[in-house]
Structures are given as C-alpha cells and as structure tokens.
C-alpha cells in the first residue's frame, strides 16, 4: 500500500510513517520543516520504501502527481500549539485551511478512490459543559480571546471542507478529532505540556503550571493513536464519520505535574503562572477535555495499550538519555 503523510516530519506524522513502514507499506512524507524536524524521520531516510519531500504543501508542485499514486492519505500538516497560534495566527488560518482544501481538490481530481484521514482537534468542543465530549455534542466557542481559538476554528473549517468534498466528489474521508496526544518526539517548544514538564522535572527545574492547574485533560500515547487511525482507515463504516481519538482517563494539570515530578524522582518545585504571564494575554481555558470513545470502540474495537504512567516513564528515560554527555 502507498501511504502519503503530509506534515510527516512532525510528532504524530512521523509515528504514522514509522508504523506503516513497519507494516511493509511504501511511505511518502511531505513537510516544510517549519515545526517538524528532520530528526523525527532521520532513522527512516535509508529505508528504500520511504520517500521524503521537503516542501510547503500550499505550493508544492508535485502534490497531484504524488497523490495520484496513493492508496491512503493522512493529512497532518498544520500549525499547532497555543504559543505558535498566538505568535502567528495568519499562518494558522492560511495553512490549516488552505492546505486542507488544496489536498482535497487534488484527491477529488486525480485519486478519488484514496482513503483520506484529516486531523481535527478536541479544541473544537470549546466550552461545552458536558463532563465528556461525544461527536454529536454542540460546539461552544466564546466571542472573547479570538486569537486563542483560531486553531479550533480552522479545524472546524477543515471538517466542513471534508464534508463538502465527500458530498460533491464522493471521496472517502475519516475525520479524527484528536485529544491530547503525547509520546516520543513531541517537544514543548509551542506549549505542549507533557514534554515541558518532563524536561523541567528531569533537570530539577521549576515545573510551571498555567492558571490554577485544576483544568483537566486526557492524554493518549501516540503509539495507541496510530493504531486507532489505521483501524479507522481499514473500517469502511468509518468513512464520512467524525471520530474521537484519544484516551478517556482524565487528570488535572496540577496532578500531572505532581505525577511527573514523582516518577522522575525530581526535586523540582511546582510553580504557577497566570495565562497573561505565560501567553502575554488574559484568556479563558477549557476546564476539562475528556473524550467519549464509544464510537471509536464500536467501529473498530480499539482499546488503548499504553497507560499514562508507562508513557511518562518512557519519556523520562528518553529525556535522561538526551542529557547524557
């Protein structure tokens, strides 16, 4: 099978590429390396079944040619991370929407039979007050702090693009609403909380919690995420569906900080920053974000393999390895 991963040098994309190479597929990756890293795919470069194109998906002149040969496409190219979103919201809107439309137009024109997955986000649920989020729940975005929610708006737009192309062109699309995904190769540069805490704890630096730390999140190991995506792509009944992808175990950010400090045997103190101190502006944050996974499980039978404890221990070991002279 021929697989294309846009944004494939990024955190999740590189794991998708690795997973499919291990299955014996041919994998093509395109990435402009603006947030992805060549280090993420360096072990793959000598594999004859792997091809890397360094290019901007918005202007890449080989897009149609490559897509015409693909059986499956994972569209992961996007700008992510709250700090990156606030720093360059224009790029967020351009890349996260225009690139998705360009990919869909190419698929509709030259390879409508390909199976496509697009990456949406749990952020689209916004300020819905339900304890857990299911795919049919209302989208609730507040009118304030508009730049903060630019990312959520782009991902919601991508979902509507997917539906419009499915309706008019008959292409096959699965819309994956990712909840917080964590694991090897993720970095804290743009505000990702787990790698940030891991780095701070392993190096006995203050672990910085934003707000009061009582906001809760659910974290899914990327090694589970790629399996879930493969199962969805292999399930015809998933075509045209929005599906939550994540782990439904919930933890507060403060308890996450305490857990990482404990697992690392760290002397790090836990400190608190206001959102204005952290991001340069006041903002409301989602108080909770837990997926209801009934749809994913009923479609595919998927079950998570990696616990948060296992993931954290693996990441602590990797951070210590990086620190060795």
Residues that are catalytic: 151
Cβ count within 10 A of residue 252 = 18
CB 306 within 8 A of CB 300: no
- Residue 211 tokens, joined: 């707000």
C-alpha 141/C-alpha 269 separation (Å) is 34
C-alpha 184/C-alpha 181 separation (Å) is 10
* Nearby residues of 286 by Cβ (< 8 Å), 6 or more positions away: 123, 125, 126, 127, 215
CA distances to 24, 155, 174 from 120, rounded to whole Å, are 27, 5, 10
C-alpha 85/C-alpha 133 separation (Å) is 23
CB 51 within 8 A of CB 27: yes
Helical spans, DSSP H, in 176-270: 193-202, 222-233, 253-263
Q: What is the DSSP string of 40-101?
A: HHGGGTT-TTEEEEE--TTT-TTHHHHHTT-SEEEE-----SHHHHHH-HHHHHIIIIIIHH
């Amino acid at each position: 099978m021929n697989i294309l991963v846009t944004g494939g040098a990024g955190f999740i994309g590189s794991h998708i590429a690795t997973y499919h190479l291990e299955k014996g597929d041919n994998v093509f990756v395109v990435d402009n390396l603006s947030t992805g890293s060549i280090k993420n795919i360096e072990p793959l470069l000598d594999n004859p079944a792997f091809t890397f194109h360094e290019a901007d998906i918005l202007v890449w002149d080989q897009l149609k040619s490559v897509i015409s040969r693909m059986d499956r496409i994972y569209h992961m190219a996007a700008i992510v991370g709250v700090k990156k979103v606030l720093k360059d919201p224009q790029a967020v809107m351009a890349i996260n929407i225009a690139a998705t439309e360009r990919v869909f137009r190419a698929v509709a024109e030259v390879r409508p039979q390909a199976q496509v997955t697009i990456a949406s986000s749990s952020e689209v649920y916004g300020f819905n007050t339900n304890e857990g989020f299911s795919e049919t729940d209302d989208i609730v975005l507040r009118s304030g702090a508009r730049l903060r929610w630019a990312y959520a708006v782009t991902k919601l737009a991508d979902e509507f693009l997917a539906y419009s192309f499915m309706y008019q062109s008959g292409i096959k699309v699965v819309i994956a609403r990712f909840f917080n995904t964590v694991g090897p190769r993720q970095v804290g540069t743009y505000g990702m909380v787990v790698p940030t805490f891991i780095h701070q704890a392993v190096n006995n630096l203050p672990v910085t919690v934003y707000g009061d730390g009582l906001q809760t999140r659910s974290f899914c190991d990327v090694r589970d995420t790629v399996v879930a995506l493969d199962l969805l792509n292999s399930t015809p009944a998933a075509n045209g569906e929005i599906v939550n992808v994540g782990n439904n175990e919930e933890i507060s950010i403060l308890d996450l900080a305490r857990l990482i400090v404990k697992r690392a045997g760290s002397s790090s103190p836990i400190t608190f920053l206001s959102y204005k101190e952290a991001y340069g502006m006041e903002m409301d944050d989602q108080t909770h974000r837990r997926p209801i996974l009934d749809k994913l499980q009923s479609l595919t039978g998927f079950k998570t393999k990696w616990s948060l404890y296992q993931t954290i221990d693996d990441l602590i070991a990797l951070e210590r390895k990086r620190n060795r002279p």
